[in-house]
Amino acid sequence: MSLQLTPNFHQPDHRYHRDFSPGDDFYQLLIDTHRDLSDEQSALLNARLVLLLANHIGNLDTLREAMQLAREDI
């Protein structure tokens, strides 16, 4: 599995009028999920989210590629 680098946000059975709208929806959902959390709670939420999504992806080659890309320029 190759890492998907082009925008790929969507919601089944939902039509969007603009290509960026699903990404905006995701961003708002992410912000809402962190609302009213302390910095420590927010970091814990991020760690849990990474592990849940990594488990969902499952493919170690894809996860390795994602980790390498995320670490670039840091």
Query: Tell me, what's the pLDDT at 2?
Result: 80
Q: Which domain holds residue 62?
A: 39-74
In a domain, 28, yes or no: no
In a domain, 50, yes or no: yes
Summarize the confidence of residues 47-69 as an average pLDDT.
Answer: 95
Q: Taking every pair of C-alpha atoms in the chain, what is the biggest distance, in angstroms?
A: 38
Summarize the confidence of residues 34-53 as an average pLDDT.
Answer: 97
In a domain, 29, yes or no: no
In a domain, 68, yes or no: yes
Question: What's the whole-model pTM score?
Answer: 0.76
Residue 18, pLDDT > 70, answer no
Summarize the confidence of residues 38-56 as an average pLDDT.
Answer: 97
Summarize the confidence of residues 8-12 as an average pLDDT.
Answer: 73
DSSP string, 33-48: HHTT--HHHHHHHHHH
Summarize the confidence of residues 20-37 as an average pLDDT.
Answer: 87
In a domain, 26, yes or no: no
Q: Where are the alpha helices (DSSP H) in 1-74?
A: 21-34, 39-57, 60-71
> Tokens standing for 47?
């760690």
Count of structural domains, the chain? 1
